[in-house]
Chain A
Amino acid sequence: MFLQNYWYAAAWSTEVGRTLFARTICNEPIVFYRTQAGLAVAMEDRCCHRRLPLRMGKVIGDNLQCHYHGITFEPGGRCVKVPGQALVPPSARVRTYPVSERHGLLWVFLGGPELADESAIPDYHWITDADWGAKGAYFHVKAHYLLIVENLLDLTHLAFVHATTIGNTAVVESADVQFQKGPLRVDVRRLMKNSAPPPTYVRAGGFTGNIDRWQFINFAPPGFVRLETGGCDAGREADPTAKRITLRNLNIVTPETDASSHYFWAQCHDFDVRNSKLTEMIFSDVQEAFLQDVAVFEAQQQSIEQNPDAPEIDVNGDVGGLQARRIVRELLELQAARCQTIA
């Protein structure tokens, strides 16, 4: 079961064009395309006649024609043509979903359309902001989305999974960590004073000595994890001539099924923002690290499926992840209670 009344990132906007593009979002199969005017359409990926996935059909003008018997739907989901008969039954329609395009992403709203308030889409402006250098990517991950969320909220794994890129032992051993919780957010603030810069920081920021490093992580349900990370010459926080870099690592995790996820992420930097080689270098370092994470998520998922009842222990680093899971659990309970009231 997933949270319904939320916007979920379904694709990078550039992935959706005039041909059909399908993705399952929270166990709901959805097919996407653009009208001639360029407006995105998100439609149930199942013909209401014989349930063939509509992604096998084609876009004709602004409409979608099913591959099987040519039944045609307009962008609002209403059937406009049943070949071979003059009459179109009024019940012939497929569900459509509210869509929005923000921060370079195409978002769909899974709950009641009347609740689709675009201002609820979380802020990811750094991805498209001209004051930042940015590059994003998409990973299909065969693991539950909260495994990805909890990974981002516990950065002690950097020292072990990512020793060759963004991690080193300072990340785990000398960090001052604070956890803050709210009803709908979790914040983890990690400070590492006077620590050795990790390889990526040396390459990107040109640091030669120790740095004061920070990692501020924010979680919002269902799967939004935004990180501000950075470093400056150790002990020279107030010095404008000190070397300082700030990075934004932005994660948008959308459940595909109970055991798989769509993982959208982008890496942004606030220095030398027009230097596409630098953007690419930082991106590929983080991508290398994230692919190391994906291997972890998928192995965890397999291990969980192999033995769902095996016990786990929790350690101090888990606070952020556990609080995030608590928020999602409580929201799901609320959602279930509301459904019961309505029924």
Chain B
Amino acid sequence: MQEQPPPTWVDAVDLEDVPEGQVKGVRLSGQFIALYRHGGQLYATSDICTHEYALLSGGWLENGEIECPLHGTRFRITDGSCLGPFGHDLRCFQTRVRHGRIEVALSPEDSE
């Protein structure tokens, strides 16, 4: 079995830039990533709606679900699962906080 290369932790924004209940879109190594804070936890998913390419960070975060601003597709931010009505699951990323900064784990193929 081929071993996965370790992820690269990429610096994103200050922890304070993502307040509780909010979503923030960032661009890391060319990737559009949405950062969320919900119930005190940080989450990160791809920021691009799998339906029609809208930025999810322009949408609305409610009860741990992000609603796409264009056509209302909802995704669970904890695991990226698509709750419909359009699209499919979102890719998720691991996050961690170092010295008050949020970092996101990207695999080597994520880098542009």
Contacts and interface: CB of A to CB of B under 8 A. Distances in A.
A314 B71 contact: yes
A30 to B, nearest CB: 36
Nearest to A322: B70
A68 interface: no
B52 interface: yes
A262 B58 CA distance: 32
B13 interface: no
B60 A181 contact: yes
Interface in B59-79: 60, 69-72
A177 B60 contact: no
B26 interface: no
B28 interface: no
A342 interface: no
Contact of B54 (A316, A323, A326): A316
Nearest to B51: A314
A313 B52 contact: yes
Contacts of A314: 52, 54, 70-71
**Which of A313, A314, A323 has the most B CB atoms < 10 Å from its CB?**
A314
Given A316-B58, A319-B58, A179 B69 contact: yes
Contacts of A313: 52
Contacts, number: 25
B58 A179 contact: yes
Contacts of A322: 69-71
Nearest to B52: A314
Contacts of A181: 60
A318 B58 contact: no
B90 interface: no
B90 to A, nearest CB: 17
A322 B69 CA distance: 8
Contacts of A179: 58, 69
Nearest to B60: A181
Contacts of B105: none
A124 to B, nearest CB: 28
A319 B69 contact: yes
Contacts of B72: 326
A318 to B, nearest CB: 6
Nearest to A177: B58
B106 interface: no
B22 to A, nearest CB: 11
Contacts of B54: 314-316, 319
Nearest to B57: A316
**Which of B60, B70, B71, B72 has the most A CB atoms < 10 Å from its CB?**
B70
Interface in B34-71: 52, 54-55, 58, 60, 69-71
A319 B60 contact: no
Contacts of A318: 70
B101 to A, nearest CB: 22
A316 B55 contact: yes
The 9 closest A-B pairs by CB, nearest first: A319-B69, A314-B70, A316-B55, A322-B70, A316-B54, A179-B69, A316-B58, A314-B52, A319-B58
Interface of B: 52, 54-55, 58, 60, 69-72
Given A316-B55, A316-B69, 20 more contacts: A177-B58, A179-B58, A179-B69, A181-B60, A314-B52, A314-B54, A314-B70, A314-B71, A315-B54, A316-B54, A316-B58, A316-B70, A318-B70, A319-B58, A319-B69, A319-B70, A322-B69, A322-B70, A323-B69, A326-B72
Interface of A: 177, 179, 181, 313-316, 318-319, 322-323, 326
8 contacts: A313-B52, A314-B54, A314-B71, A315-B54, A316-B58, A318-B70, A319-B69, A323-B69
